[in-house]
């Protein structure tokens, strides 16, 4: 606010994707990081936004991010969302169309981030049927980042031994939960326990679950 990049109203709402604020924030992030960020995410563009407003909000934000890429302040950008895809407010083709409008065919949209877990199985179920954000991102060459794979640490405590063995026989509940993100190369999690980190890396590094197993999991848990 002191820099004039954020209005009092936006500060009160706790969310802002105005172009001036984006430009200020990415420049600040670059200084703090000490190098050019590989990818900068727009965080929850659906926040406090109506369906008829989302395209304009994304487009103006993409313009600011394309300018930051052209000035080499950042290398690329993405969209991270909690419910943007699941609510139908936007999809990957819509994001690509807006990115092309903002930056041309050589735009810098490179990634999406969304929750993928045993609590948020809809993207997995959609992929099994050949559609949805995971499939669209793969077809477009976008990186996919899976957020909240353990749902804030809650999932391992609610997995039964039977379900754990259905997903990944002999695994811990946490490993089985992470296996549900199968096919996603970037999985976001945190731990202060080296053993947990080793187990997580092992789970992510295993071959993807078969479609048959995934269908059984979806049948058991729903979406």
Give the C-alpha separation, 157 to 200, whole Å: 16
Q: Pick the closest to residue 79 from 38, 131, 124, 42 (CA basis).
A: 42
Domain assignment of residue 201, yes or no: no
Give pLDDT, residue 35.
96
Please give the pLDDT value at position 196: 86
Whether the pLDDT of residue 183 is over 80: the answer is no
Q: Supply the pLDDT for residue 173.
A: 92
pLDDT at residue 37 greater than cutoff 90 = yes
Indicate the number of domains in the chain. Answer: 1
Residue 217: is its pLDDT beyond 90? Answer: yes
Confidence class of residue 222 from pLDDT cuts 50, 70 and 90? confident
- Name the residue among 126, 46, 48, 110 with its Cα closest to residue 78: 110
pLDDT digits 0-9 by tens, 92-108: 999 999 999 999 999 99
Determine, yes or no, domain membership for 57.
Answer: yes
171 lies in a domain?
no
Mean pLDDT throughout 160-174? 91
How far is the C-alpha of 177 from the C-alpha of 200, rounded, in Å?
A: 10
Q: Phi and psi of 24, rounded to 5°?
A: -65, -45
Residue 213 lies in a domain: no
* Sign of the torsion formed by the C-alpha atoms of 160, 161, 166 and 169: positive
**52 occurs within a structural domain:** yes
Domain span at 71: 8-161+185-191
CATH number at residue 73: 3.20.20.100
């Amino acid at each position: 606010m002191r820099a004039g990049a954020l209005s009092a109203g936006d500060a009160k709402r706790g969310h802002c994707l105005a172009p001036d604020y984006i430009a200020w924030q990415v420049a600040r992030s670059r200084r703090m990081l000490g190098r050019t960020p590989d990818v900068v995410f727009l965080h929850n563009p659906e926040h406090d936004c109506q369906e008829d407003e989302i395209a304009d909000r994304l487009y103006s934000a993409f313009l600011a991010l394309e300018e930051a890429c052209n000035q080499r302040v950042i290398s690329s950008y993405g969209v991270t969302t909690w419910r943007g895809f699941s609510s139908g407010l936007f999809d990957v083709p819509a994001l690509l169309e807006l990115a092309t409008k903002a930056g041309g065919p050589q735009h810098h949209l490179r990634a999406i981030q969304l929750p993928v877990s045993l609590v948020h199985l809809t993207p997995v179920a959609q992929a099994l049927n050949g559609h949805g954000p995971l499939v669209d991102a793969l077809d477009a060459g976008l990186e996919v980042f899976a957020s909240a794979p353990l749902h804030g640490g809650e999932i391992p405590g609610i997995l039964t031994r039977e379900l754990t063995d259905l997903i990944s026989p002999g695994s811990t509940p946490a490993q089985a939960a992470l296996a549900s993100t199968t096919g996603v190369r970037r999985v976001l999690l945190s731990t202060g326990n080296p053993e947990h980190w080793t187990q997580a890396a092992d789970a992510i590094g295993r071959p993807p679950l078969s479609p048959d197993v995934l269908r059984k999991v979806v049948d058991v848990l729903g979406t």
